Structure 1
Amino acid sequence: MSSALQEAIQNSIQYYLNKAISAFNYEYTSPDYNFNVRGKVAGKAYLTLWQIRLNPILFLENQDEFLQHVIPHELAHLIAYHQFGRVKPHGKEWQYIMIEVFGISAQTRHSFDISSVQGKTFSYQCQCREHELTIRRHNKIQRHQSYYHCTVCESQLIKK
């Protein structure tokens, strides 16, 4: 990662951290961050480690969105944990931090193009459409460990 991108990440963290410091009147330290997230996940917050982990491929492909949404999203998890303890990951406390403290929408999922990071998928069918499942979910179905249902029609997904 270039020094300019590292600086942009640190600036984003500090910008939103300053908002939290002002809102909660607490001197938070800057969390550690690294690029140890793989797959389709954009980022993860490690609460007890005070750490943010980012997906390096998705970051390079979506730098502005990461700086303006993913980093504050993960930082909000850390702040919520510090202020309120263990709470629902995207519950009212997290939403309060996102909307009222950071001044951004409380989106819980990204909409990045994941074609560059997505592995092999398997086609499954419900009553209303086709679904592409990851190899992990496919293997769980094959081992009879899990079953998945469509969130729209609620029917069980069947291998095509």
Structure 2
Amino acid sequence: MRRQESPPPMPELLRQRVEACYVQAEAFFKRTFPRPEVSFKLRGQKAGVAHLHDNLLRFNPQLYQANQDDFLRQTVPHEVAHLIAHQLFGASIQAHGQEWQLIMRGVYELPPHRCHSYAVERRVAMRYIYRCPCPDSDFAFSAQRHTLVRKGRRYVCKRCRQVLTYSGETRSE
């Protein structure tokens, strides 16, 4: 069983930047907004995620550490703008639509970039090779899917309808 790592403590600068973004939005819209819960529990390629219905912001600690200045300048307002847009305009708006862009440009005076350009280290993934009777039939399963097969789940080839079986081979991607 994998040990659950606790996230690093939330940097005070990031908390202050979230608050500053809210103060700026409140001055612009002349109304108050409920403050979100802020978490540093995000991994992978995303720098930040706004959970609209939970009023929650999650940030990636590795990308923050490697890109602190731009992260505070661009990523934090980007995510806060999602929550502000949701609270102002409702759930039917597009994630990076005109309402969100209005907030990025009008409130924060920032370009409405949809994605970051931070260098992201991809971790090497182990793949488990499954086969069926079809020629050239390699199916690369993730560790999670391989575990499901070991627990009894069955996967079937779409061409021959035979159950895929583990070949005993693995590869790194």
TM-score w.r.t. the length of structure 1 is 0.69
What is residue 6 of structure 1 aligned with on the other side?
A: 11
2:84 equivalent to 1:79? yes
2:61 equivalent to 1:56? yes
Once residues 21 and 119 of structure 1 are traced to their aligned partners in structure 2, the CA distance between those partners, rounded to angstroms, is 44
Aligned match for 2:106, one of 94, 100, 108: 100
Note the aligned Cα RMSD (angstroms). 2.4
Once residues 34 and 123 of structure 2 are traced to their aligned partners in structure 1, the CA distance between those partners, rounded to angstroms, is 34
Gaps of 5+ in 1: 123-134, 145-160
Query: How far did 1:18 drift?
Result: 1.1
What is residue 38 of structure 2 aligned with on the other side?
A: 33
What is residue 116 of structure 2 aligned with on the other side?
A: 110
For the residue of structure 2 that corresponds to 1:109, the secondary structure is coil
The residue identity in structure 1 corresponding to 2:76 is I
Question: Which consecutive aligned stretches of 4+ in structure 1 deviate over 3 angstroms post-superposition?
Answer: 117-122
2:24 equivalent to 1:19? yes
Once residues 124 and 96 of structure 2 are traced to their aligned partners in structure 1, the CA distance between those partners, rounded to angstroms, is 27
For the residue of structure 1 that corresponds to 2:11, the secondary structure is helix
Gaps of 5+ in 2: 1-7, 128-140, 146-156, 159-173
Bigger Rg, structure 1 or 2:
2
| Equivalent pairs, count | 124
2:88 equivalent to 1:88? no
TM-score w.r.t. the length of structure 2 is 0.64
